[in-house]
């Protein structure tokens, strides 16, 4: 076989990507990355208005993008999301599990209902959507890429100022879920990897950023900055494309070096 060029290896023309939590923040950034490389995009999140705006933004950039509103913490909604995506888009080549929730409270006072909410979306939702998409689209074709969005919060303990024990626990679970699934589904030629973002200026992170101060938080990173609107694009595309076809069961921090300092 003639070796492909680097442009050919990163080309996603003819591929379809489903991205949960895709209407803003990191999900929308990754949607741009995959769409700019040629993939057709199906966005999902809970709010139709946000999805309409995000889809319009992608389409204005020349990307074939559509949306389905769904709550990935609910079994029936996950099934409906899979049904509509497969019906409207055909087979799913790339699944980005990005929808997530957090909850701030001291561990000793953390509500059990909030613990369950975080776990249902951040872990159970990833498992159920991966399962249904693999069974209905990837396994039979012996082809697929699954990218799970974890966090550097899943690499170590819980800094005292964060008080997000359920979130941190869920992201640690996502990392091992990724490794276990990669080992099991490797024979089906399904690559499963995780990205562990550090602090980006997203809606979820803004409360902590405003509390601690952007400059103070950036000072903890060797690169002295927080993540921006481009910093996940390269890794997401690598893991979604044939350029990363021999990478599976891995997790990589995109955090300006924070985890190198903290030992995560």
pLDDT tens string 7-42: 999 999 999 999 999 999 999 999 999 999 999 999
Q: Are strands 190-197 and 144-149 parallel, antiparallel or unpaired?
A: parallel
Q: Which of 126, 167, 188, 251 is catalytic?
A: 167
**Does residue 130 contact residue 149 with C-beta atoms inside 8 Å?**
no
Q: Is residue 26 part of a domain?
A: yes
> What b/e sequence results for 83-116 when a residue is b if at least 16 CB atoms lie within 10 Å of its CB, and e otherwise?
ebbbeebebbbbbbbbbbbbbeeeeeebeeebbe
Q: Is residue 114 part of a domain?
A: yes
Domain contains 67: yes
Terminal C-alpha separation, the chain = 40
Higher pLDDT, 142 or 203: 142
Q: Is residue 215 part of a domain?
A: yes
Average pLDDT of the segment spanning 224-250: 97
**Whole-angstrom Cα distance, residue 89 to residue 65?**
10
**pLDDT tens digits, one per residue of 173-183:** 999 999 999 99
Kindly list the distances between the CA atom of residue 158 and the CA atoms of 23, 154, 170, 171, 256, in Å, as whole numbers in the listed order: 28, 9, 12, 11, 18
Task: Give the pTM.
Answer: 0.95
Residue 264 lies in a domain: no
162 versus 239: which is more confidently predicted?
Answer: 239
Q: How far is the C-alpha of 55 from the C-alpha of 49, rounded, in Å? A: 10
Q: What does the alpha-carbon distance between residue 169 and residue 116 come to, in Å, rounded to a whole number?
A: 12
Contact 107, 163 (CB under 8 A): yes
In a domain, 55, yes or no: yes
Q: Is 167 one of the catalytic residues?
A: yes
Beta carbons of 115 and 207 less than 8 angstroms apart: no
Separation CA 81–CA 86 (nearest Å)? 9
**Domain containing 116: what range?**
6-257
Q: Percent of the chain, pLDDT > 90?
A: 85
pLDDT at residue 203, as a whole number:
74
| CB neighbour list of residue 129: distance below 8 Å, 6 or more residues apart | 20, 72, 78, 81, 82, 95, 97
Whether the predicted pLDDT of 160 surpasses 60? no
263 lies in some domain: no
pLDDT-based confidence at residue 264 (cuts at 50, 70, 90)? low
* pLDDT tens sequence across 29-84: 999 999 999 999 999 999 999 999 999 999 999 999 999 999 999 999 999 999 99
| Overall number of domains in the chain | 1
Across the range 164-185, mean pLDDT stands at 97
CATH of the domain at 252: 3.40.50.720
Please check whether residue 131 lies inside any domain of the structure.
Answer: yes
């Amino acid at each position: 076989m003639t070796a492909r060029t680097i442009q050919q290896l990163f080309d996603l023309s003819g591929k379809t990507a489903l991205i949960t939590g895709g209407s803003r923040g990191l999900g929308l950034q990754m949607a741009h990355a995959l769409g700019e490389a040629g993939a057709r995009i199906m966005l999902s999140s809970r709010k139709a208005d946000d999805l309409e705006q995000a889809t319009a933004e992608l389409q204005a950039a020349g990307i074939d993008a559509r949306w389905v509103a769904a709550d990935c913490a609910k079994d029936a909604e996950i099934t409906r999301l899979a049904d509509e995506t497969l019906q409207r888009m055909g087979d799913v080549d790339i699944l980005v599990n990005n929808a997530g929730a957090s909850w701030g409270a001291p561990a000793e006072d953390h509500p059990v209902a909030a613990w369950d909410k975080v776990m249902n979306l951040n872990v159970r939702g990833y498992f159920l959507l991966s399962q249904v998409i693999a069974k209905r689209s990837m396994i039979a074709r012996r082809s697929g890429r699954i990218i799970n969005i974890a966090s550097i919060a899943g690499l170590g303990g819980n800094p005292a100022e964060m008080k997000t024990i359920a979130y941190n626990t869920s992201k640690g679970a996502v990392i091992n879920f990724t490794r276990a699934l990669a080992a099991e589904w490797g024979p089906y030629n399904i690559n499963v990897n995780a990205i562990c973002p550090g602090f980006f200026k997203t809606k979820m992170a803004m409360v902590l950023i405003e509390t601690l101060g952007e400059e103070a938080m950036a000072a903890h990173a060797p690169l002295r900055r927080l993540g921006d609107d481009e910093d996940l694009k390269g890794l997401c595309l690598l893991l979604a494309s044939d350029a990363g076809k021999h990478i599976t069961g891995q997790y990589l921090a995109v955090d300006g070096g924070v985890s190198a300092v903290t030992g995560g």
